[in-house]
Chain A
Amino acid sequence: MATTLTPDTDEATAPHRVHTGGPRNLRQWNWPGGLAGWLWFGIVIIPIYWIVITSFKTSANYFDANPLKPPTDLTFENYKLVIQEHFIRYFVNSLVVTLGAVVPAVLASFMAAYAIVRGRGRFLWSCNALFLAGLAIPLQATIIPIYLIIIRLKLYDTLLAIILPSIAFAIPLSVLVLSNFIRDVPNELFESMRVDGANEWKTLWNLAFPLSRPALVTVTIYNGLIIWNGFLLPLVLTQSPERRTLPLALAAFQGQYTVNVPAVLASVVLTTLPILTLYVVGRRQLLSGLTAGFGK
């Protein structure tokens, strides 16, 4: 499924490419499409607009005025409150979990993908089949045994408890995307490395790794987003407030400040800001990363 769709996505996310086909005239006066397009724009933008302006309002201002009007007395108090509620710590926790899981996951997946593409034999073939089947395992269904394993490893309520299963669940899709990419590297390049006397290990890091950079960026971003936004693993595997990651902290904060809507929304803005910055900087990579999830 993923292999057939990957080229399309590349095209979809790289509009500068030469126009290869497609019914241009179909859309010149496509009013249902146009209507849907603008309608959806409104549906997406109104809540986002509301979150941002409300997060700068005082409570009094929020209850008084029309909720869609910009704040009359701009305040940063809400953000101050959020930061006082240890959001820096939760941010660091999320960062540690995300980096701690994504880096090993991508490196291990890369090595596995290389071995699967370059190697031969029943064992590697079965490994590949296992990873492919793994795409279909829903995290929710395995959470109880994961909880049991984490308790037995005495890792309950640590960040490592979140990291280990996150790595495992990032591997199947990463191996799939990376092995599809490595498969396209011309065989002559590997041959010339071999002639130069490089062993597989050296070929892996000096040739395949730099050549696979686009695919590596894609899987890094995709997994990073999934793990950064992950909720179930931290919910089940940690307990103390000091171990909260951002999504969990958000839920707790909302429970605590239900009535203080501007502060709750400030916490949403603040936790989303890093990803949004990434989106602005590297939109293309991020989108191709997201659509790499097609095979799921």
Chain B
Amino acid sequence: MVLPALLFFVAFGVIPLLGVLGLSFTTWDGIGAIHPSGLTSWRETLKDPALPHALWVTFLIMALSWAFQTPMSLLLGVFLAGRQKYRAALAVVYFVPLLLSSAAIAITYKALLDPNFGLSSGLGIGFLAQDWLGRGRLAIGVLIFIVSWQYIPFHSLIYQAGVRQIPTSMYEAAQLDGAGRIRQFFSITLPQLKYTIITSSTLMVVGSLTFFDLIWVLTAGGPADATRVLAVQMYIKGFQGNQMGPASAIAVILVLVGLGLALLLRRIGGDARESQMEGA
């Protein structure tokens, strides 16, 4: 009974994963015959200055979007953990961006930020009327904002669940000891959420490697190559430059980076889990 699922998964999941490693040792233009070519594709990929640039942009977007999303999700998670009705009603609205396709979100923001026709220029507020997507630094900032717009609700849901699990008695005890609310947040809420923070961070960090749809529709990696992350670089190389060999090598690097990050965070997460169990 396991066979249908196994068959599908092997055919379109496992084989492609092994296949991409295989293809990285070949030369293929995407249409004609595939020629084994040893390390040619790898040599070309590793020598190409576009690779360190793509890695840099990938990590920059990963780090900035993590640094922006985490405090905001934490704050909103604590806020949403309250049982007040209006908070539940606000939450209903928060989740709407999660339902939209990345393509729809990218198109909306493209129109919204258009320097000639968009909301940002139409309001007539000086600094809002900029060519948001036309300048490299700004485009990265915009991208991080949009990613946050899309995913912060999801992460605050994780934090909400985490906060609701903290036993009330801990706060009561802290209050008896005379700890103020800020003290309570830093001495109880934050340490108790350690494992939740690791989970959410893992999802953010590893998930950021797969931003493709949004970037592709929003900037196509531009302006110039300012937002060309690994996934976009791979697509451009393979499906626009017809160099499937080097593109496959980039895909392998993408997998390795993801795997490395996941293992690293799991390691930190394992420690966090232990200390949390001790605390409970």
Q: How many residues of A contact B (CB 8 A)?
A: 111
CB of A111 within 8 A of CB of B164, answer no
Which residues from chain B sit less than 8 Å from chain A, CB to CB? 1-2, 4-6, 8-9, 11-17, 19-20, 23, 30, 34, 72, 75-76, 78-84, 87-88, 90, 92-104, 106-112, 114, 117-119, 122-123, 149, 152-154, 157-158, 160-168, 170-171, 175, 181, 184-185, 188-189, 199, 202-203, 206-207, 209-210, 212-213, 216-217, 231, 234-235, 238-239, 244, 247-248, 251-252, 254-255, 258-259, 262
CB of B87 within 8 A of CB of A225, answer no
Residues of chain B lying within 8 A (CB to CB) of residue A68: 119, 123
Measured CB to CB, the closest approach of chain B to A56, in angstroms, equals 15
Residues of chain B lying within 8 A (CB to CB) of residue A228: 101
CB of B254 within 8 A of CB of A138, answer yes
CB of A47 within 8 A of CB of B112, answer yes
Residues 1-51 of A at the B interface (beta carbon under 8 Å) = 1, 5, 8-9, 11-12, 15, 19-27, 29-30, 32-34, 36-38, 40-41, 43-45, 47-48, 50-51
Residues of chain B lying within 8 A (CB to CB) of residue A290: 95, 98, 154
CB of B2 within 8 A of CB of A127, answer yes
Measured CB to CB, the closest approach of chain B to A173, in angstroms, equals 11
Residues of chain A lying within 8 A (CB to CB) of residue B9: 130-131, 134, 168, 171-172
Whether a CB of chain B sits under 8 angstroms from the CB of A142 is yes
Measured CB to CB, the closest approach of chain A to B85, in angstroms, equals 9
With the chains together, A158 CA to B249 CA distance in Å?
Answer: 28
With the chains together, A138 CA to B212 CA distance in Å?
Answer: 11
The SS class assigned to the A binding surface is: helix
CB of B258 within 8 A of CB of A66, answer no
Can you pick out 9 interface pairs between chain A and chain B where the beta carbons lie within 8 Å of each other?
Answer: A12-B164, A37-B87, A44-B94, A47-B108, A142-B19, A142-B20, A144-B234, A250-B104, A291-B158
Residues of chain A lying within 8 A (CB to CB) of residue B97: 44
- A171-B5 contact given A24-B82, A290-B154, A294-B199, CB 8 Å threshold: yes
Which residue of chain B is the closest to A114 with respect to CB atoms?
B1
With the chains together, A282 CA to B78 CA distance in Å?
Answer: 25
With the chains together, A136 CA to B122 CA distance in Å?
Answer: 43
Contact of B210 among A9, A11, A127, A138 (CB under 8 A): A138
With the chains together, A235 CA to B251 CA distance in Å?
Answer: 17
Measured CB to CB, the closest approach of chain B to A155, in angstroms, equals 12
Residues of chain A lying within 8 A (CB to CB) of residue B81: 22, 27
- A51-B108 contact given A12-B160, A141-B255, A279-B96, CB 8 Å threshold: yes
CB of A21 within 8 A of CB of B251, answer no
CB of A50 within 8 A of CB of B171, answer no
Measured CB to CB, the closest approach of chain B to A221, in angstroms, equals 11
CB of A30 within 8 A of CB of B181, answer yes
With the chains together, A201 CA to B80 CA distance in Å?
Answer: 44
